[in-house]
A and B are shown apart, each in its own frame.
Chain A
Amino acid sequence: MKLISLSALLFVILLGALFIYVAEDIPDFGDPYSAPNRYIKLFSMDAAELEDNLNQGVIPKSLADKIADRGLPLPTRVKSVKEGEWDFFLVPEEKQQAFFPKEQKYYFIKKEGDELEVYRYALIIRWIEEGEEETEVPNMVTYGLADYRGYDTLGETTVIFTAGVSVLLLLRRRGKRPEARKL
Protein backbone atom coordinates (compact mmCIF):
# COMPACT_ATOMS: atom_id res chain seq x y z
CA MET A 1 0.00 0.00 0.00
CA LYS A 2 1.04 3.59 -0.44
CA LEU A 3 2.45 5.50 2.47
CA ILE A 4 -0.45 7.88 2.81
CA SER A 5 -3.05 5.08 2.87
CA LEU A 6 -1.19 3.35 5.69
CA SER A 7 -0.82 6.46 7.79
CA ALA A 8 -4.46 7.39 7.17
CA LEU A 9 -5.55 3.94 8.35
CA LEU A 10 -3.49 4.29 11.52
CA PHE A 11 -4.92 7.71 12.22
CA VAL A 12 -8.45 6.44 11.74
CA ILE A 13 -7.86 3.54 14.11
CA LEU A 14 -6.50 5.86 16.80
CA LEU A 15 -9.50 8.13 16.36
CA GLY A 16 -11.79 5.12 16.71
CA ALA A 17 -10.10 4.20 19.98
CA LEU A 18 -10.66 7.74 21.24
CA PHE A 19 -14.36 7.50 20.39
CA ILE A 20 -14.62 4.20 22.24
CA TYR A 21 -13.09 5.83 25.31
CA VAL A 22 -15.61 8.69 25.18
CA ALA A 23 -18.60 6.34 24.88
CA GLU A 24 -19.39 6.20 28.57
CA ASP A 25 -20.55 9.83 28.69
CA ILE A 26 -23.04 9.54 25.87
CA PRO A 27 -26.66 9.08 27.07
CA ASP A 28 -28.59 5.96 26.11
CA PHE A 29 -30.73 5.91 23.01
CA GLY A 30 -34.21 7.03 24.04
CA ASP A 31 -33.43 7.90 27.65
CA PRO A 32 -36.27 10.15 28.83
CA TYR A 33 -34.26 11.74 31.65
CA SER A 34 -31.12 12.72 29.72
CA ALA A 35 -29.85 16.26 29.40
CA PRO A 36 -30.86 17.00 25.78
CA ASN A 37 -34.40 15.80 26.40
CA ARG A 38 -35.74 18.24 28.92
CA TYR A 39 -34.18 17.22 32.22
CA ILE A 40 -30.76 18.13 33.60
CA LYS A 41 -29.79 16.18 36.70
CA LEU A 42 -28.79 18.24 39.72
CA PHE A 43 -28.41 15.95 42.74
CA SER A 44 -30.20 13.25 44.72
CA MET A 45 -30.95 13.00 48.43
CA ASP A 46 -32.60 10.70 50.96
CA ALA A 47 -36.39 10.51 51.03
CA ALA A 48 -37.11 10.29 54.76
CA GLU A 49 -40.31 12.22 55.53
CA LEU A 50 -40.00 14.62 52.64
CA GLU A 51 -42.50 12.70 50.56
CA ASP A 52 -45.41 13.50 52.84
CA ASN A 53 -44.52 17.16 52.84
CA LEU A 54 -44.42 17.22 49.07
CA ASN A 55 -47.75 15.46 48.76
CA GLN A 56 -49.43 18.07 50.91
CA GLY A 57 -48.01 20.95 48.90
CA VAL A 58 -45.31 22.23 51.26
CA ILE A 59 -41.69 22.67 50.21
CA PRO A 60 -39.40 21.03 52.79
CA LYS A 61 -36.66 23.20 54.16
CA SER A 62 -33.73 20.82 53.64
CA LEU A 63 -34.48 20.59 49.93
CA ALA A 64 -34.76 24.36 49.55
CA ASP A 65 -31.47 24.82 51.43
CA LYS A 66 -29.66 22.41 49.19
CA ILE A 67 -30.96 24.16 46.09
CA ALA A 68 -29.92 27.56 47.45
CA ASP A 69 -26.43 26.24 48.23
CA ARG A 70 -25.81 25.79 44.53
CA GLY A 71 -26.83 29.34 43.74
CA LEU A 72 -30.05 28.50 41.93
CA PRO A 73 -33.34 30.41 42.46
CA LEU A 74 -35.81 29.15 45.06
CA PRO A 75 -39.14 27.60 44.09
CA THR A 76 -42.48 28.88 45.37
CA ARG A 77 -45.09 26.24 44.59
CA VAL A 78 -45.36 22.46 44.37
CA LYS A 79 -47.69 20.48 42.19
CA SER A 80 -47.93 16.75 41.84
CA VAL A 81 -47.86 15.27 38.33
CA LYS A 82 -48.17 11.57 38.97
CA GLU A 83 -47.57 9.07 41.73
CA GLY A 84 -44.01 9.81 42.79
CA GLU A 85 -43.29 12.83 40.59
CA TRP A 86 -43.60 16.52 41.47
CA ASP A 87 -43.14 19.82 39.66
CA PHE A 88 -41.75 22.97 41.23
CA PHE A 89 -42.82 26.35 39.92
CA LEU A 90 -41.29 29.71 40.47
CA VAL A 91 -42.16 33.32 39.78
CA PRO A 92 -39.47 35.10 37.76
CA GLU A 93 -37.57 38.16 38.92
CA GLU A 94 -38.30 41.74 37.97
CA LYS A 95 -35.90 41.87 35.04
CA GLN A 96 -37.41 38.91 33.20
CA GLN A 97 -41.07 39.85 33.59
CA ALA A 98 -41.37 41.03 29.98
CA PHE A 99 -40.42 37.68 28.48
CA PHE A 100 -41.80 35.27 31.09
CA PRO A 101 -44.90 36.94 32.49
CA LYS A 102 -46.45 33.84 34.06
CA GLU A 103 -44.91 31.49 36.56
CA GLN A 104 -42.76 28.83 34.94
CA LYS A 105 -41.88 25.24 35.64
CA TYR A 106 -38.35 24.99 36.91
CA TYR A 107 -37.54 21.85 38.90
CA PHE A 108 -38.68 18.24 38.72
CA ILE A 109 -38.50 15.72 41.56
CA LYS A 110 -38.72 11.99 41.05
CA LYS A 111 -38.76 9.23 43.62
CA GLU A 112 -36.71 6.20 42.73
CA GLY A 113 -36.22 3.51 45.33
CA ASP A 114 -35.19 5.23 48.51
CA GLU A 115 -33.88 8.47 47.08
CA LEU A 116 -35.34 11.64 45.68
CA GLU A 117 -33.71 12.81 42.47
CA VAL A 118 -33.84 16.50 41.64
CA TYR A 119 -33.76 17.61 38.00
CA ARG A 120 -33.99 20.97 36.33
CA TYR A 121 -36.12 21.53 33.24
CA ALA A 122 -34.20 22.66 30.16
CA LEU A 123 -35.56 25.75 28.39
CA ILE A 124 -37.16 23.58 25.70
CA ILE A 125 -40.18 23.10 27.96
CA ARG A 126 -41.56 26.50 27.02
CA TRP A 127 -41.11 25.73 23.33
CA ILE A 128 -43.14 22.53 23.60
CA GLU A 129 -45.92 23.49 25.96
CA GLU A 130 -46.64 27.18 25.49
CA GLY A 131 -45.52 27.75 21.93
CA GLU A 132 -48.84 26.88 20.37
CA GLU A 133 -50.70 29.48 22.39
CA GLU A 134 -48.28 32.25 21.59
CA THR A 135 -48.15 31.63 17.84
CA GLU A 136 -51.19 29.87 16.41
CA VAL A 137 -49.13 27.41 14.40
CA PRO A 138 -49.26 23.67 15.17
CA ASN A 139 -45.87 22.72 13.77
CA MET A 140 -43.18 23.02 16.45
CA VAL A 141 -40.25 23.02 14.05
CA THR A 142 -41.70 25.78 11.83
CA TYR A 143 -42.44 28.24 14.58
CA GLY A 144 -39.09 27.48 16.08
CA LEU A 145 -37.29 28.20 12.81
CA ALA A 146 -39.22 31.24 11.66
CA ASP A 147 -40.28 32.96 14.86
CA TYR A 148 -38.07 32.14 17.82
CA ARG A 149 -34.97 31.75 15.65
CA GLY A 150 -35.82 34.13 12.84
CA TYR A 151 -32.39 35.76 12.72
CA ASP A 152 -30.68 32.43 12.09
CA THR A 153 -32.93 31.73 9.14
CA LEU A 154 -32.11 35.16 7.67
CA GLY A 155 -28.42 34.29 7.86
CA GLU A 156 -29.19 30.90 6.33
CA THR A 157 -30.85 32.47 3.31
CA THR A 158 -27.81 34.69 2.89
CA VAL A 159 -25.54 31.62 2.94
CA ILE A 160 -27.37 29.92 0.11
CA PHE A 161 -27.53 33.17 -1.84
CA THR A 162 -23.74 33.47 -1.49
CA ALA A 163 -23.25 29.91 -2.74
CA GLY A 164 -25.30 30.66 -5.84
CA VAL A 165 -23.35 33.84 -6.57
CA SER A 166 -19.97 32.12 -6.11
CA VAL A 167 -20.83 29.31 -8.51
CA LEU A 168 -21.99 31.93 -10.99
CA LEU A 169 -18.73 33.85 -10.70
CA LEU A 170 -16.47 30.80 -10.90
CA LEU A 171 -18.04 29.29 -13.98
CA ARG A 172 -19.31 31.87 -16.39
CA ARG A 173 -21.04 29.51 -18.76
CA ARG A 174 -24.39 30.93 -19.69
CA GLY A 175 -25.18 34.47 -20.59
CA LYS A 176 -24.90 36.35 -23.85
CA ARG A 177 -23.27 34.72 -26.84
CA PRO A 178 -19.53 35.48 -27.31
CA GLU A 179 -20.13 37.64 -30.41
CA ALA A 180 -21.98 40.09 -28.24
CA ARG A 181 -19.13 40.22 -25.69
CA LYS A 182 -16.32 41.13 -28.05
CA LEU A 183 -16.30 44.79 -28.88
Chain B
Amino acid sequence: MNTGNSDREGGKEGGKDVIVETISRVMVPFIQLFALYVIMHGSSGPGGGFQGGVIFGASFVLLVIAFGIVNAGDRFPEAVNTALFSTGVYIYAGVGLLCLISGILYFGVIEAQYLNYGYLPLPVHFEERRALGMDFIEIGVGITVMAVIAEIFFNLAWKKEEDEGEGEGEGIEKGEPE
Protein backbone atom coordinates (compact mmCIF):
# COMPACT_ATOMS: atom_id res chain seq x y z
CA MET B 1 0.00 0.00 0.00
CA ASN B 2 1.72 3.13 -1.17
CA THR B 3 0.26 6.31 0.18
CA GLY B 4 3.21 8.54 -0.59
CA ASN B 5 3.09 11.57 -2.85
CA SER B 6 2.71 9.66 -6.08
CA ASP B 7 1.48 11.19 -9.32
CA ARG B 8 -0.47 9.49 -11.99
CA GLU B 9 2.38 9.68 -14.45
CA GLY B 10 4.78 8.47 -11.78
CA GLY B 11 4.75 4.90 -12.92
CA LYS B 12 6.74 2.70 -10.59
CA GLU B 13 5.94 4.34 -7.30
CA GLY B 14 2.34 5.03 -8.26
CA GLY B 15 1.01 1.62 -7.35
CA LYS B 16 -1.65 1.55 -10.04
CA ASP B 17 -3.70 -1.55 -9.42
CA VAL B 18 -6.70 -1.93 -11.67
CA ILE B 19 -8.73 -4.19 -9.40
CA VAL B 20 -8.39 -2.03 -6.29
CA GLU B 21 -9.14 1.18 -8.16
CA THR B 22 -12.23 -0.17 -9.89
CA ILE B 23 -13.74 -1.78 -6.84
CA SER B 24 -13.22 1.22 -4.63
CA ARG B 25 -14.72 3.46 -7.26
CA VAL B 26 -17.85 1.30 -7.16
CA MET B 27 -17.98 0.83 -3.38
CA VAL B 28 -17.50 4.39 -2.12
CA PRO B 29 -21.01 5.68 -3.01
CA PHE B 30 -22.61 2.69 -1.30
CA ILE B 31 -20.54 3.21 1.83
CA GLN B 32 -21.62 6.84 1.96
CA LEU B 33 -25.25 5.87 1.44
CA PHE B 34 -25.02 3.40 4.30
CA ALA B 35 -23.53 6.11 6.50
CA LEU B 36 -26.49 8.41 5.75
CA TYR B 37 -28.87 5.55 6.55
CA VAL B 38 -27.21 4.98 9.92
CA ILE B 39 -27.44 8.69 10.82
CA MET B 40 -31.08 9.09 9.88
CA HIS B 41 -32.32 5.84 11.40
CA GLY B 42 -30.79 6.55 14.77
CA SER B 43 -34.28 6.94 16.21
CA SER B 44 -35.75 3.54 15.43
CA GLY B 45 -32.74 1.27 15.59
CA PRO B 46 -29.12 1.27 16.61
CA GLY B 47 -27.18 4.17 15.16
CA GLY B 48 -26.96 7.90 15.56
CA GLY B 49 -24.71 10.81 14.77
CA PHE B 50 -21.29 9.60 15.92
CA GLN B 51 -21.56 6.18 14.33
CA GLY B 52 -22.67 7.45 10.95
CA GLY B 53 -20.02 10.16 10.89
CA VAL B 54 -17.22 7.65 11.43
CA ILE B 55 -18.47 5.43 8.60
CA PHE B 56 -18.60 8.46 6.31
CA GLY B 57 -15.03 9.38 7.22
CA ALA B 58 -13.89 5.81 6.58
CA SER B 59 -15.00 6.07 2.96
CA PHE B 60 -12.45 8.85 2.42
CA VAL B 61 -9.75 6.61 3.85
CA LEU B 62 -10.66 4.01 1.23
CA LEU B 63 -10.17 6.59 -1.50
CA VAL B 64 -6.70 7.41 -0.16
CA ILE B 65 -5.69 3.75 -0.07
CA ALA B 66 -6.74 3.14 -3.66
CA PHE B 67 -5.68 6.32 -5.45
CA GLY B 68 -2.77 7.83 -3.57
CA ILE B 69 -2.91 10.73 -1.20
CA VAL B 70 -2.31 13.58 -3.62
CA ASN B 71 -5.14 12.59 -5.93
CA ALA B 72 -7.56 12.00 -3.09
CA GLY B 73 -6.40 15.12 -1.28
CA ASP B 74 -7.24 17.31 -4.26
CA ARG B 75 -10.88 16.40 -3.91
CA PHE B 76 -11.16 17.71 -0.35
CA PRO B 77 -9.20 20.92 -0.06
CA GLU B 78 -8.29 22.05 3.41
CA ALA B 79 -10.48 25.15 3.29
CA VAL B 80 -13.66 23.17 2.67
CA ASN B 81 -12.92 20.68 5.43
CA THR B 82 -12.15 23.39 7.92
CA ALA B 83 -15.42 25.11 7.09
CA LEU B 84 -17.27 21.83 7.65
CA PHE B 85 -15.77 21.44 11.14
CA SER B 86 -17.61 24.42 12.44
CA THR B 87 -20.82 23.97 10.40
CA GLY B 88 -21.84 20.98 12.52
CA VAL B 89 -21.34 22.81 15.79
CA TYR B 90 -23.26 25.81 14.45
CA ILE B 91 -26.20 23.58 13.53
CA TYR B 92 -26.30 22.10 17.02
CA ALA B 93 -26.05 25.38 18.90
CA GLY B 94 -28.35 27.05 16.37
CA VAL B 95 -31.18 24.62 17.08
CA GLY B 96 -30.81 25.37 20.76
CA LEU B 97 -30.89 29.12 20.18
CA LEU B 98 -33.96 28.75 17.97
CA CYS B 99 -35.74 26.92 20.78
CA LEU B 100 -34.85 29.74 23.18
CA ILE B 101 -36.02 32.53 20.88
CA SER B 102 -39.20 30.74 19.91
CA GLY B 103 -39.96 30.02 23.54
CA ILE B 104 -39.55 33.67 24.44
CA LEU B 105 -41.83 34.78 21.62
CA TYR B 106 -44.65 32.33 22.23
CA PHE B 107 -44.56 31.42 25.89
CA GLY B 108 -42.88 34.19 27.82
CA VAL B 109 -39.41 34.79 29.19
CA ILE B 110 -39.68 32.63 32.31
CA GLU B 111 -40.66 29.38 30.64
CA ALA B 112 -38.23 29.33 27.70
CA GLN B 113 -35.38 26.82 27.93
CA TYR B 114 -32.23 26.45 25.87
CA LEU B 115 -32.37 22.96 24.37
CA ASN B 116 -36.02 22.05 24.90
CA TYR B 117 -37.17 20.98 21.45
CA GLY B 118 -40.82 21.13 22.41
CA TYR B 119 -40.81 24.88 21.79
CA LEU B 120 -39.70 24.73 18.16
CA PRO B 121 -42.07 26.53 15.74
CA LEU B 122 -43.29 23.48 13.84
CA PRO B 123 -46.94 22.61 13.09
CA VAL B 124 -47.06 19.22 14.84
CA HIS B 125 -47.86 18.32 18.45
CA PHE B 126 -45.50 18.50 21.37
CA GLU B 127 -43.98 15.04 21.46
CA GLU B 128 -43.32 14.86 17.77
CA ARG B 129 -41.44 18.15 17.85
CA ARG B 130 -38.99 16.56 20.25
CA ALA B 131 -38.36 13.70 17.84
CA LEU B 132 -37.74 16.11 14.93
CA GLY B 133 -35.38 18.23 17.00
CA MET B 134 -33.33 15.12 17.75
CA ASP B 135 -32.98 14.39 14.03
CA PHE B 136 -31.61 17.86 13.31
CA ILE B 137 -29.04 17.47 16.02
CA GLU B 138 -27.77 14.14 14.79
CA ILE B 139 -27.16 15.64 11.35
CA GLY B 140 -24.96 18.34 12.89
CA VAL B 141 -22.93 15.86 14.90
CA GLY B 142 -22.47 13.62 11.84
CA ILE B 143 -21.06 16.44 9.71
CA THR B 144 -18.48 17.44 12.33
CA VAL B 145 -17.29 13.91 13.01
CA MET B 146 -16.91 13.14 9.30
CA ALA B 147 -14.82 16.22 8.60
CA VAL B 148 -12.61 15.71 11.66
CA ILE B 149 -11.80 12.08 10.94
CA ALA B 150 -10.95 12.77 7.30
CA GLU B 151 -8.77 15.77 8.18
CA ILE B 152 -6.88 13.91 10.92
CA PHE B 153 -6.07 11.10 8.52
CA PHE B 154 -4.86 13.42 5.77
CA ASN B 155 -2.65 15.39 8.11
CA LEU B 156 -1.06 12.35 9.69
CA ALA B 157 -0.31 10.64 6.40
CA TRP B 158 0.94 13.50 4.24
CA LYS B 159 4.62 13.35 3.46
CA LYS B 160 6.55 16.55 3.99
CA GLU B 161 8.27 17.92 0.89
CA GLU B 162 12.04 17.69 1.06
CA ASP B 163 12.92 20.74 -0.97
CA GLU B 164 11.32 23.01 1.58
CA GLY B 165 14.34 22.39 3.79
CA GLU B 166 14.40 22.14 7.54
CA GLY B 167 14.33 25.82 8.03
CA GLU B 168 12.15 26.99 10.84
CA GLY B 169 13.99 26.52 14.07
CA GLU B 170 15.22 22.94 13.83
CA GLY B 171 18.84 23.53 14.62
CA ILE B 172 19.28 20.67 17.05
CA GLU B 173 20.98 18.37 14.59
CA LYS B 174 23.27 21.07 13.30
CA GLY B 175 24.65 21.22 16.80
CA GLU B 176 24.35 24.84 17.68
CA PRO B 177 23.03 25.29 21.19
CA GLU B 178 21.42 28.57 21.95
Do A's and B's CB atoms come within 8 Å in the complex? yes
Interface on A for B, CB 8 Å cutoff?
Answer: 133-139, 141-143, 145-147, 150-151, 153-154, 157-158, 160-161, 163-165, 167-168, 171, 173-175, 178
Inside 8 A of B89's CB, which chain A residues have their CB? Answer: 157-158, 161
**In the complex, B164 has a CB within 8 A of chain A:** yes
**CA of A168 to CA of B93, assembled, Å:** 23
Q: Which residues of B contact A136 (CB under 8 A)?
A: 127-128, 130-131
Q: What number of residue pairs across chains A and B have CB atoms under 8 A from each other?
A: 101
B contact residues around A142 at 8 Å (CB): 42-43, 47-48, 134, 138
Are B151 and A167 in touch, CB under 8 angstroms?
Answer: yes
On whether A135 and B78 interact (CB within 8 A), knowing A153-B141, A157-B92, A164-B148, the answer reads no
B133 surroundings in chain A (CB, below 8 A): 147
Closest Cβ of chain A to B99, distance in Å, is: 10
Q: In angstroms, how far is the closest chain B Cβ from the Cβ of A157? A: 6
Contacts A133-B127, A161-B148 given; does A138 touch B43 at CB 8 Å:
yes
A137, A138, A158, A175 — most chain B CB neighbours (10 Å)? A137
Is B18 part of the contact surface with A, judged by Cβ < 8 Å?
no
B4 in contact (CB, < 8 A): no
Give the residue of A134, A141, A168 whose beta carbon is less than 8 angstroms from that of B155. Answer: A168
Contact B144 A161 (CB under 8 A): yes
